Amino acid sequence: MNPVSRSVALGRLILGDTRAKQCRSTLVALRLCTLAVSAQPTGLADYAEPRIKQQPVGQMVGIGETAIFKVVMEDDSDPRPIDRQSRIYDPMFQWVKNGSKLEGATTTILTIRNAQPSDAGVYYLAINWSHDRATSAIVTLAVVASAPPAIAAHPTGGAFLQGRSVTLRVFASGFPAPKYQWRKEGREIPGATADSLTFSSLQPADEGRYEVMVSNPFATVQSSSTTLTVLNQLSTANAGAPAIVSEPQSLVVPPGDPAVFEVSAVGAGVTYQWFRDGAALAGATQPVLSLPAVSAADMGCYSVVARNDAGTTESQSVALAVPADEPSHLVNLSARGYVPAEGTLTVGFFLRGTGAKTLLLRAAGPALSQLGVEAFLPDPRLTLRAAGFATPWRTNDDWDGGTDRETVAAATATAGAFAFARGSRDAAMLATLDTKDSRAFTLQISPAEPTSAGAVLAELYDCTAGNPAVCLAGVSILAPVGAGERTLSPGFTIAGPSPKKLLIRAIGPGLSAFGADGLMADPELSVTPTTCHTPIARNADWANSAEITTSAAVIGAFPLAPDSHDAAVLLTLPPGGYTVAVTGAGGSAGLVLVEIYDLDR
């Protein structure tokens, strides 16, 4: 990317798209000016062109700090007077921000004291001669809120063979950038001040408990402790079932490129078998699975089983995503949750695009008896509202009590949902929603008899999934979560030829900002493909991830506190079905909001 294009991209990131467009016009004009100057006829041997010895450097500073941009000219220390006969001219300097001159900024040094977010932008120094004009490099200033360090991913140890290269790594954020100090058994390791700690040839003396201190001027946090165990070939002979010490990782690979999954396990006589979507792959019996040129047919969920005479161990599930030109869409959501007496389970969703979308909305209570659920809600009621409207858009109590029962039954069959019995007190409705009226909606499930309570299955199906003009851009579920019948396990389906990038959050403490109480203090979430046995992702504390913060801002989701115990993951998933499981750390219970956002725009 050339400097002008890179600066435009940075301007869009820091300033927002509108201001970046303004900046872009100035930068394009600047490039045209530079090209025009380069085309000037030569022959003036005594003309001294402006020459920059040192360019300014882009910076990121905290709010209230000082930023300094400096340009050094080759002849800056001995400016010459105007001499039109020898055609040597004094320079005139002017700093430019976002295409506009900065008042009084007419030297080669620009100092910005007590920097504020409004100072963020794109800067350069214009150097004017009566014969010519030159400019410095175009640089950016980012002004961010100072933040204490937060650990996004803690170091992970394990059992490793002697002589192997092993790296412990921590991922942390904060501003100013944090510093690191690794410790073993509580004592500092001299020189171990990077974000990783590498053992080039692991030895028995390296066994022990490790953690890392992460600090900046605002705070110091300690990672969780992890243990390194050193194995030799003799010790593994009686180690029992294989232990997986290095898991495979999910991949996003363009069509035609190679994909490589790798697992590492220790144990005696270990053999391997790779699986895709639960089916064994013929001949895939090595620690490394190589796909030389991937296509859409290779997309799916992969895992590997390591086994020996003592037992079997399955790896985590991983995804292979292969992008395609045609987009995919979220086409359904289902969530089993608990509706308390005089309470509700609330499903929210919003639409992207222009036009109408027909949805099948259901609340299964008595029908759950077919699935072996005994403590079901005996008579659920559905209430659909558009955001900002107090009056319900539509309601339904008993699904076949209205005139549209036949169309509901037909839509149920088309969607592949299980049928409700005639005369049952399950609720369902068909709703055609037009984005010109509203884009955001809530679906509340409540007991028809206020004193009753029980488990319910909320379902949302896109009946016009083939219409790409309008699609589901996000769904959410708000419900009390606990053990037994209070389990919350939303499921969703991605339909189409291409993978989809999603932000999934389980929010407990973060709801306190809205005045909610009875919140789950520390929710944990996992995401598991319906074709695999093990989760593809897990998270307990979102740990102030910069990528998650940016993604939430882009989609319009409310921000989470940097040190909250809410959970969040970013995933790129192939088409298919997935289940989100939400639990409380230590078996705790409380109110939780689960959100699933489509980040593809």
Amino acid 91: pLDDT: 62
Q: HEC states along 84-129?
A: CCCCECCCEEEEEECCEECCCCCCCEEEECCCCHHHCEEEEEEEEC
**Residue for token pair 């003009």:** 469
The region of weakest confidence among 158-172, 223-237, 265-279 is 223-237
Does position 237 have pLDDT exceeding 80, yes or no? Answer: no
> What pLDDT shows up at residue 46?
43
Residue 127 has pLDDT above 90, yes or no: no
Q: Mean per-residue pLDDT for 51-74?
A: 86
Tell me if 458 sits within 8 A of 337, measured CB to CB. yes
What would the pLDDT profile of 582-596 be if each residue is shown by its tens digit? 998 878 899 999 999
56 by DSSP, 3-state: which?
coil
In a domain, 575, yes or no: no
What is the identity of the amino acid at 28? V
Which pLDDT tens digit goes with each residue over 71-83? 998 764 444 444 4
In a shared domain, residues 221 and 265: no
The pLDDT of residue 41 is above 50: no
Q: Given 454, 474, 497, which residue is the final one in a domain?
A: 497
- Of 27-36, 275-284, 512-521, minimum mean pLDDT range: 27-36
Query: Is it the case that residue 86 has pLDDT exceeding 70?
Result: no
| 220-232 mean pLDDT | 84
Q: Please give the Cα distance from 311 to 240 (Å, whole number).
A: 7
Same domain flag for 564 and 432:
no
Please tell me which residue, 86 or 317, carries the higher pLDDT value.
Answer: 317
pLDDT at 88: 46
Q: How far apart (Å, rounded) are the C-alpha atoms in residues 97 and 105?
A: 10
578 lies in some domain: no
Residue 332 in domain = yes
**CA–CA separation, 552 vs 550, rounded Å?**
5
**Residue 601: pLDDT over 80:** no
* Structure token digits, residue 594: 């689960």
Instruction: Read off the pLDDT of each residue in 41-68 and give the average, rounded to a whole number.
Output: 70
Q: What is the pLDDT of residue 75?
A: 63
pLDDT at 304: 95
Between 442 and 163, whose confidence is greater? 442
Query: Rounded to whole angstroms, what are the CA distances from 305 to 104, 244, 308, 424, 573?
Result: 68, 9, 10, 44, 22
What is the per-residue pLDDT for 143?
84
Q: What does DSSP say about strands 251-252 and 318-321: parallel, antiparallel, or unpaired?
A: parallel
Same domain, 272 and 214: no
pLDDT at 130 over 60: no
Instruction: From residue 278, give the alpha-carbon distance in Å to each of 173, 245, 321, 529.
Output: 37, 22, 17, 10
Please check whether residue 237 lies inside any domain of the structure: no
* Pair (125, 19) in one structural domain: yes
Q: Mean pLDDT, to the nearest integer, of 128-133?
A: 55
Query: Is a pLDDT exceeding 70 seen at residue 397?
Result: yes
Please indicate whether residue 143 or residue 281 has the higher confidence score (pLDDT).
Answer: 281
Phi, psi (rounded to 5 degrees) for 509: -55, -30
Shared domain for 137 and 155, answered yes or no, is no
Tell me, yes or no, whether 249 and 347 share the same domain: no
| Better-scored residue on pLDDT, 73 or 153 | 73
Average model confidence (pLDDT) across the chain: 83
Q: CA triplet 565, 571, 577: central angle to 5 degrees? A: 110
Q: What is the CATH number of the domain that holds 450?
A: 2.60.120.380
Question: Is 151 found in the same domain as 138?
Answer: no
How many beta carbons lie within 10 A of that of residue 587, not counting itself?
Answer: 8
Residue with tokens 């008993």: 398
What CATH number is attached to the domain comprising 164?
A: 2.60.40.10
> Residue 417: which residues within 8 A CB-CB, separation 6 or more?
360, 362, 459, 461
Query: Can you give the pLDDT at residue 83?
Result: 45
476: number of Cβ within 10 Å: 21
| Sole residue written with tokens 């590492």 | 264
| CA distances, 324 to each of 253, 296, 317, 574 (Å) | 11, 8, 22, 11
The pLDDT, as a whole number, for residue 233 is 55
Between 69 and 77, whose confidence is greater? 69
Last residue within a domain, chosen from 231, 261, 276? 231
In a domain, 49, yes or no: yes
Answer yes or no: is pLDDT of 47 > 50: no
Same domain, 450 and 332: yes
Residue ranges of alpha helices (H) inside 260-400 are none
Asked if residue 296 has pLDDT above 80, the reply is yes
Chain centroid, CA 23 distance in Å: 29
Instruction: Kindly tell me if the per-residue pLDDT of 312 is higher than 60.
Output: yes
Q: Evaluate whether 377 touches 339 at the Cβ level (below 8 Å).
A: yes
What amino acid occupies position 58?
G
Burial class (CB in 10 A: 0-12, 13-18, 19+), 248: buried
Q: Are 294 and 258 spatial neighbours (Cβ–Cβ below 8 Å)?
A: yes
- Quote the pLDDT of residue 144: 77
Asked if the model's pLDDT at residue 358 lies above 60, the reply is yes
Its domain, for residue 63, covers: 3-144
Taking phi first (over 0 means left), then psi (-120 to 50 degrees means alpha), and beta for anything else, what does residue 586 get?
left
Residues 474 and 554 both lie in one domain: no
Task: Tell me the per-residue pLDDT of 464-493, one tens digit each, with 9 for 90 and over.
Answer: 866 678 999 999 999 889 877 788 889 999
pLDDT above 70: percentage of residues in the chain:
86
pLDDT at 369 over 70: yes
Q: Do 91 and 151 belong to one domain?
A: no
Q: How far apart are CA 586 and CA 251, in angstroms?
A: 32
Token code pair at residue 486: 């209070």
Q: Which of 118, 144, 170 is the last residue of a domain?
A: 144
Lookup: tokens for 138: 């175009």
Residue 225 lies in a domain: yes
The Cα–Cα gap between 550 and 570 comes to 11
**Smallest Cα–Cα separation from 311: which of 258, 271, 283?**
271
pLDDT for the residue numbered 24: 31
Where is average pLDDT lowest: 12-26, 80-94, 160-174? Answer: 12-26
**Is the link from the previous residue into 176 a cis peptide, with omega within 30 of 0?**
yes
Whether 582 is covered by a domain: the verdict is no
23 or 413: which carries more pLDDT confidence?
413
Place 89 in a pLDDT band, splitting at 50, 70 and 90: very low
Residue 443 shares a structural domain with residue 489: yes
For residue 133, what pLDDT is reported? 65
Q: What share of the chain is helix, strand, coil (3-state, %, to 5)?
A: 15, 45, 40
**What is the pLDDT, as a whole number, of residue 58?**
85
Q: How far apart, in whole angstroms, are the C-alpha atoms of residue 373 and residue 548? A: 36
Q: Are residues 83 and 193 in the same domain?
A: no
Residue 569 scores a pLDDT above 90: yes
**Tens digit of pLDDT for each residue in 406-425?**
999 999 998 889 999 999 99
pLDDT digits (tens, 9 = 90+) for 525-550: 999 999 988 899 989 888 778 888 88
- Report whether 473 contacts 328 (CB < 8 A): no
91-124 confidence digits (pLDDT tens): 688 999 988 899 999 999 999 998 888 998 889 9
Please count the structural domains in the chain. 5
Task: Give the least confident one: 17-26, 413-422, 499-508.
Answer: 17-26
Residue 376 lies in a domain: yes
